[in-house]
């Protein structure tokens, strides 16, 4: 994806604040993101999904691994538990920033 200020205009969440878990999965391979907006993980680690980008960057989801939060390619996750089947479509804020 283009690494601009915003990866997508819209996102899907389980609640209006995007604070509820949507699903959980297992990383199918190691991933190291291009910058600090991405969450890194190792094959087999549990990944928790809080929202899914829609629109121009549909391949990115946002979630956590341990205490780290960030974006990752959805194709690297094998979803093994859905917490909610209800999805709200909301506008995105500016993408996570690096400090």
More confident of the two residues 94 and 15: 15
Rg (CA), the chain: 12
3-state helix, strand, coil split of the chain in percent (to 5) is: 5, 45, 55
36: its two tokens: 């600090």
Q: For residue 6, is pLDDT > 50?
A: yes
pTM of the model: 0.87
Among 91, 85, 86, 81, smallest CA distance to 23 is for 81
**pLDDT level of residue 96 (50, 70, 90 thresholds):** low
- Mind listing the domains of the chain with CATH numbers? 21-84 (2.30.30.40)
């Amino acid at each position: 994806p283009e690494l601009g200020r915003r990866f997508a205009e819209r996102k899907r969440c389980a609640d209006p604040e995007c604070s509820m878990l949507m699903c959980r999965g297992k990383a199918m391979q190691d991933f190291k993101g291009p910058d600090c907006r991405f969450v890194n993980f190792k094959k087999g680690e549990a990944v928790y999904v809080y929202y899914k980008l829609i629109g121009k960057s549909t391949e990115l989801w946002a979630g956590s691994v341990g205490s780290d939060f960030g974006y990752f390619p959805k194709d690297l996750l094998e979803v093994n538990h859905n917490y909610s089947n209800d999805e709200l479509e909301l506008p995105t804020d500016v993408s996570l920033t690096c400090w």
